[in-house]
């Protein structure tokens, strides 16, 4: 296929294939499979709107809605897998909290089993087939009716930058778990948009992507400890008076970890503000620019011959 759409078509194909491959692992209970399937679904949702000019708004909307259903099915189990991993780390570092950690692990394990049952239903063959067919319809529309997508990408990345700036402003400098989680989500969306442009070879944004990934990892760790803290509090609520003191100590330990991570965020906040305010504009300018036509091989050979005096 020639024209604007061939790179986007290849990207949609690759993301759909990755989603299919990792869903098999997710259904089998593989932790990495759950995570990678979720990432592939998010990236696919970010790429689909670029085909709206060729495939139509309705087709893109259907595809994104179907893929979003898979993303939402994977997320809750992913949270529990991470929580269990954190409990392992805490067990190794805080042996004196073994009893409250074991109590929290039982709560998390029960919740994970319930969430896995729900995931198995939501990731059935019918749901996967419906999502992939909807994506294929968008892809086929792009093949049949090649349309430029650079402007769509530029507008979306610009909007993501504004959303991130607004989320940072709203959160301020106080410790607000919900507001910080919103920053993480908007930073992730901006990062996916920038990475998509890099993959499609229309813009450069490697430094901004590194900054966003670092902040996403930091705020992701904060969110993971917040989730675990809620389960520790539930274990304390269920616990006996003998164990209650230890469980309260665990809750305090987790809250302190959250506050330390928030302090790290504040030290890095200015860099994130800079990325949100500057990177999308530079990216959009590059993405909208028409690529220079490359000279044909013979023309390049003649130019080299002329320079060498042959």
- pLDDT tens digits, one per residue of 234-279: 887 776 554 556 667 888 899 999 999 999 999 999 999 999 999 9
Count the helix, strand and coil residues of the chain and give each as a percent rounded to the nearest 5: 85, 0, 15
The whole-number average pLDDT for the span 107-129 is 90
Looking at residue 263, its pLDDT comes to 98
Q: Which residue has the higher pLDDT, 135 or 288?
A: 135
Contacts of 168 (CB under 8 A, 6+ apart): 183, 269, 272, 273, 276
pLDDT at 295: 46
When pLDDT is cut at 50, 70 and 90, the band that residue 82 belongs to is very high
| Alpha helices (runs of H) in 94-176, residue ranges in sequence order | 98-122, 125-144, 150-171
8 Å CB contact between 68 and 196: no
Confidence of residue 20 (pLDDT cuts 50, 70, 90): very high
What percent of the chain shows pLDDT beyond 90? 67
Look at residue 251 in the predicted model and tell me its pLDDT. Answer: 87
Highest mean pLDDT among 120-124, 261-265, 281-285: 261-265
pLDDT digits (tens, 9 = 90+) for 38-72: 999 999 999 999 999 888 999 999 999 999 999 99
Q: In this predicted structure, what is the pLDDT of residue 309?
A: 42
Instruction: Report the C-alpha gap between 251 and 19 in whole angstroms.
Output: 37
* Whether residue 190 has pLDDT greater than 90: yes
User: Are the beta carbons of 142 and 5 closer than 8 angstroms?
Assistant: yes
* pLDDT on residue 146: 62
Residue 129 has a pLDDT of 93
pLDDT of residue 276: 97
Degrees, nearest 5: CA angle 188-30-178 = 30
pLDDT bin (cut points 50, 70, 90) of residue 124 is confident
Q: Which pLDDT does position 246 carry in this prediction?
A: 63
Tokens representing 80?
A: 């529990």
Rounded to an integer, the average pLDDT of 83-98 is 94
What is the structure's pLDDT at 310? 39
Output the average pLDDT for the chain: 88
Residue count of the chain, please give it. Answer: 310
Assess whether pLDDT exceeds 50 at residue 308. Answer: no
| pLDDT of the residue at 196 | 95
Q: Coil, helix or strand for 108? A: helix
- pLDDT at 241 (0 to 100): 52
């Amino acid at each position: 296929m020639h024209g604007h759409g061939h790179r986007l078509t290849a990207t949609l194909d690759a993301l759909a294939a990755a989603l299919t491959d990792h869903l098999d692992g997710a259904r089998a209970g593989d932790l990495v499979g759950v995570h990678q399937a979720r990432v592939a679904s998010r990236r696919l949702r970010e790429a689909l709107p670029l085909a709206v000019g060729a495939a139509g708004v309705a087709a893109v909307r259907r595809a994104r809605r179907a893929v979003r259903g898979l993303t939402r099915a994977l997320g809750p189990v992913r949270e529990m897998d991470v929580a269990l991993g954190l409990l392992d780390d805490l067990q190794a570092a805080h042996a004196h909290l073994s009893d409250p950690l074991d109590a929290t692990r039982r709560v998390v394990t029960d919740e994970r089993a319930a969430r896995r049952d729900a995931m198995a239903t939501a990731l059935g063959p019918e749901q996967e087939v419906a999502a992939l067919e909807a994506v294929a319809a968008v892809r086929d529309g792009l093949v049949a009716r090649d349309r430029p997508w650079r402007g769509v990408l530029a507008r979306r990345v610009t909007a993501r930058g504004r959303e991130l700036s607004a989320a940072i402003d709203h959160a301020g400098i106080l410790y607000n778990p919900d507001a910080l989680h919103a920053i993480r989500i908007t930073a992730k969306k901006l990062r996916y948009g920038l990475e998509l442009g890099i993959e499609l070879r229309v813009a450069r944004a490697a430094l901004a992507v590194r900054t966003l990934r670092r902040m996403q990892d930091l705020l992701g760790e904060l969110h993971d400890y917040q989730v675990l803290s809620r389960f520790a509090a539930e274990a304390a609520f269920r616990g006996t008076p003998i164990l209650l003191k230890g469980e309260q100590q665990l809750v305090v330990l987790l809250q302190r970890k959250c506050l330390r991570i928030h302090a790290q965020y504040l030290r890095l906040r200015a860099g994130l503000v800079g990325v949100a305010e500057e990177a999308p504009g530079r990216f959009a300018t590059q993405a909208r620019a028409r690529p220079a036509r490359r000279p044909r091989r013979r023309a390049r050979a003649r130019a080299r011959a002329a320079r060498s005096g042959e």
